Structure 1
Amino acid sequence: MAAVAAIVVFVAAYVLIASEKVHRTAVALGGAALMLLLHVTDAEKAFFSERSGIDWNVIFLLLGMMVIVSVLRRTGIFEYVAIWAAKRARGRPYRLMVMLVLITAVASALLDNVTTVLLIAPVTFLVCERLALKVVPFLMAEVMASNIGGTATLVGDPPNIIIASKGDLTFNDFLVHLAPLVVLLLAVFCGLCRILFRSAFTSDPERIAAVMALREREAITDPRLLAQGLAVLILVVAAFVLHPVLHYQPSVVALLGAGLLVAATKVTTQDALSEVEWPTLVFFAGLFVMVGSLVDTGVIGKISHAATDVTDGRLGLATMLLLWASAALSAIVDNIPYVATMSPIVADLVHQQGGGDGGHVLWWALALGADLGGNATAIGASANVVVLGIAARNGHPISFWHFTKYGIVVTITTVAIATPYLWLRYL
C-alpha cells in the first residue's frame, strides 16, 4: 500500500507541476506533506536519511552560492561580463549564444552545474537587455549546455560523483571516456541551437552600435568589493576542484565562502539574503521528500531490477537499455536518487562481466543516460529548476511545457549520438 500511495502522490504532483495550475513550490510542499501524512515516509527518513531524505548538501550548496552571487552582483561584474561578451560577439545573437553556451559548458565541467548557472544567468539577463533580445532561449540553451558539459568530468554532475565512488573510477577515467563524446555533443548542440531558437536571432542595429560604444570597465561600481568577492569565489572554486584532496563537501565550501564574504565586507546579512531564491530551495526540499519516498518504498528499485532482468547477461543489450532507460527515468525523477538506486545494480553487472573497459561501459551508459536525460524536462536536473526559478523572479517565466518541448529534442539527439559512441568504442 505504501508503494501505491507513493506512486499516486508523485504522479498527481507531477501532473500538477506540468499543468502549472498550481505553483510548483506549493505542489512539492503538498506532495511531501501527503507522503508524511500517509506514513509513506517519516521525519527520520525525510529529514535525515542520506539515501532517501532531503539532500541538504544540494540545498546548502545552492544557498551558499546564491549569497556569493548576490554580493558579486552589487559590484557591477555581471554588467562588465555582459558588455564584454556582447562586444566580442559583435552583437550578433547566434554568435553570442554559442559563446555563452561554450562558457557555460566548460565551467560546468569544473564546477557543479547549479553553481555555473547561478553565475551565468545574471550575465545573460543583462546582455539580452542591452541588445533587446529574448532572454528565455538563451537561458534554456545555457542550462542544457551545463548538463552536457557537466557529463565530461567526475565533479561536473552529482550523479558522476556517485558513479565514481561505486565504480572506483578516477577523475581521469571520466576525462578519457566521456570528454571526447561531450566535445562532439557540444558541437552538435550549437548547431541545434541555430535551428531550435532561430526566432530569437533578431538584432537591433542601434542597440548593437550602442553596446559597441560602451566601455565595460565603467560598469564596475565597487572595485574593492569586487576584489574581495572574486578572491572568495576563486577560493571556493579551488576547493571544489580539490575536493579529492581536501575532503570538504561542496555545500560546506559554499557556506564557508558565503559566510566569509558577508563577514569580511560591508554587505549586510539582510542584503546578502534578500536575493536568495527561497521558493526554489523549498521546491527542492519537497521534491527530495517525494522522490525519496519512491526510493524507500522500492518503486525505483523494482523498475531498475526489472530492466536489468530483461538483459539476461547480454552486455550490448544491457548497455543500450541502461542508457535509454536512464535517460527516460532521469527526465521524470531527479537523477541523483535514481543513480544512487541503480549504482549497486550496475556494480553487480560490471562484476559479472569481469570488469575492465568491457564491463565499465555500463558505468558510462548510466552516467550518460542520467546526465543527458536531465535535459528532457523542466525538473529533470537541479540546474533546470534553479534557472526556471531565476527566470520567474526576473519576470520571464518559463513554463514546464515550453522547456520540455525543446529539452526532449536535445535529449533524444544527444542520447542517440551517445548510442553509437558506446557501441563502437566498447562493444
Structure 2
Amino acid sequence: MLNDSFAEMLSVVLLLAVLACAVIRPWGWPEAVVAVPAAGVLVGTGAISWQHAVDEAARLGPVIGFLAAVLVLAQLCDDEGLFRACGAWTARAAAGRPRRLLVLVFAVASLTTAVLSLDATVVLLTPVVFATAARLGARPKPHVYACTHLSNTASVLLPVSNLTNLLAFAASGVGFARFAALMALPWLAAVGAEYAVFRRFFAADLRAGASAVPEEETSQQRDVPVFALATVAGTLGGFLLASAVGIDPAWAAAAGAGVLAVRGLARRRTTPVALVRAASVPFLLFVLALGIVVRAVVDNGLADGLGRLVPAGASLPALLAIAAVAAVLANVINNLPAVLVLLPLTAPTGPGAVLAALLGVNIGPNLTYAGSLATLLWRRIVRHHDTDVRLGEFTRLGLLTVPLALVAAVVALWVSLHVIGG
C-alpha cells in the first residue's frame, strides 16, 4: 500500500501522462494505449481501491454505452446523406454571401451539436463546411472556426450533446426536459455571444467575394434524407420518454442507431465492421480508464484543494465563480477530467451549481487546443484540408469569445433557475 503523498504524486503524474498522450497521440496511438495501463497501475498499487475503481466503472458504464450509440447514429446519418444535404441547402441559401453563410453555419452547427453531439459537428460537419465554402469561393476560416467553437459552446443544450453533459445530467438530479429547459436560454446567450464576436473578428474574411452555386448543381443534391431525419426526431422523443419513465437514455440512442443500422445493412450502405469502427471502442476504453485515473486523483487530495475554491450556493456570484473555476480547470487538465473532478463538489449544492460547472467545462475549452478532445480532433481535420491554424489567432479568438459567452450563459442560467426553478 502506498503512502498518501506518493499515491497523490503517482495519480497526478499518470493523469498528466494520459492527457499528454491524448493531445499528442504519438505514432498515431489511440488514447487508450496509455490510459488503460495507467488505470491498471493505480489499481494495482493501491492508489485507488479496487472498490472505488469498480464504482467508477459502474457509474460511467451507461454514459459510455450512450456515447457508443450516438457515435454510431451520427455515422449512419452521414451514410444516409444527411450532412451532404445540409451542405447543399446551406450553399443554396447563402446565395454567394459570406455573412449569410456564417449565419447558416452557426445554425446548422449549433443544431447538429445539440442533437447529434459535438463529435458529429467536428468529424462530419467540418468537412462539409470546407466543401461548401470552396463551392462558393468564400474564405473558409470563419466558417470552419465556427465548427470547433460551436462543437463546445453549443453543446450545453441537451444531456445528449456532450459526454460532459451526460455526466452532469446524472449528477444534477433533473429530468431530460427540465435540463433542456434550464439550458435553453444559456445556449442561446452563448451562441449569440460567439456570433457577435465572429462577425467582428472575421470582418475582412466575410467581406471577401463569393459566388452563388449554380441552380443545376444544387438541384442534384436536394434529396432530403427523410428516413434519417425521422429517426433522429424519434430518438429525441425517445430521450424524453425514457427520462420521464426512469429508463436510461442510452436505450433510446441504441434504438435509433439500431433502426438506421438495419436499414444501412439492408441497403449495403454499411457493414458490421463499419458499425464497430463507428462506435470507436478504443475511445470508449479511454473514457473508462480516464474516469478511474481521475477518481484516483480526487481520492488522493485534489478534491480537498478544489473544495476551497468552489463556492456553495446558487447566487449569481457563486455561479460565476464555479463556471470560472471549471473553465480554467478544463484548459489545464481537459474538460472531461475537469467535470469528473467538479461534480462531487457541486452536486451537493444543487442542480444550479452542477449546470454552472457544465457551462465552464463546455465553453471554456475554446480558449486552448488542449481544452477538449473535440478541439484536438478538429485541428487534425483542418490540417488535413491544408488550412493554417495559428496558435496566436486561435488564442486571440478564444480570449474574446470565452469570457463573453461564459458570463452571458451563466447570467442566463441564473435567470432560468429563478423563472423555472432549480
What range is the shorter-chain TM-score in? 0.7 to 0.9
The one-letter amino acid paired with 2:187 is: V
Inter-partner Cα distance in structure 2 for 1:292 and 1:424? 36
Q: Aligned pair in 2 of structure 1 residues 322, 143: CA closer, same or farther (>3 Å)?
A: same
In angstroms, what is the RMSD of aligned CA positions? 4.2
In structure 2, the partner of 1:7 is 12
User: Which residue, out of 28, 33, 36, partners 1:29?
Assistant: 33
Counterparts of residues 373-392 of structure 1 (less than 5 Å): 373-381=364-372, 383-388=374-379, 390-391=381-382
Q: CA deviation at 1:260?
A: 1.4
In structure 1, the partner of 2:321 is 321
Long gaps (5+) in structure 1: 351-359
Inter-partner Cα distance in structure 2 for 1:111 and 1:259? 16
The one-letter amino acid paired with 1:264 is: A
In the alignment, does 2:360 pair up with 1:369? yes
Q: Aligned pair in 2 of structure 1 residues 159, 229: CA closer, same or farther (>3 Å)?
A: closer
In the alignment, does 2:90 pair up with 1:82? no
**Percent of aligned pairs sharing the same letter:** 18
Q: Aligned pair in 2 of structure 1 residues 426, 271: CA closer, same or farther (>3 Å)?
A: closer
In the alignment, does 2:144 pair up with 1:139? yes
SS in 2 for 1:348: helix
SS in 2 for 1:49: helix
Contact 1:51 1:337 in 2 (8 A): no
Contact 1:277 1:389 in 2 (8 A): no
In structure 1, the partner of 2:80 is 72
Q: CA deviation at 1:325?
A: 0.9
Q: Aligned pair in 2 of structure 1 residues 383, 239: CA closer, same or farther (>3 Å)?
A: farther
In structure 2, the partner of 1:239 is 238
Inter-partner Cα distance in structure 1 for 2:86 and 2:395? 29
Long gaps (5+) in structure 2: 1-5
1:85-110 deviation digits (Å, cap 9, x = unpaired) = 12322222232112111232234444
The one-letter amino acid paired with 2:266 is: A
Q: Aligned pair in 2 of structure 1 residues 401, 64: CA closer, same or farther (>3 Å)?
A: farther
Inter-partner Cα distance in structure 2 for 1:233 and 1:373? 28
In the alignment, does 2:54 pair up with 1:50? no
1:207-260 deviation digits (Å, cap 9, x = unpaired) = x14x1444423126xx6x945545544444443454425734055235413421
TM-score (norm 1): 0.75
In structure 1, the partner of 2:347 is 347
1:103-139 deviation digits (Å, cap 9, x = unpaired) = 3223444443334555533431320221234545423
Q: Aligned pair in 2 of structure 1 residues 13, 171: CA closer, same or farther (>3 Å)?
A: closer
In the alignment, does 2:173 pair up with 1:182? no
Inter-partner Cα distance in structure 2 for 1:47 and 1:311? 24
User: Which residue, out of 268, 277, 300, partners 1:266?
Assistant: 268
Inter-partner Cα distance in structure 2 for 1:16 and 1:419? 32
Inter-partner Cα distance in structure 2 for 1:42 and 1:135? 50
TM-score (norm 2): 0.76
Contact 1:6 1:293 in 2 (8 A): yes
SS in 2 for 1:86: helix
Contact 1:69 1:119 in 2 (8 A): no
In the alignment, does 2:202 pair up with 1:197? yes
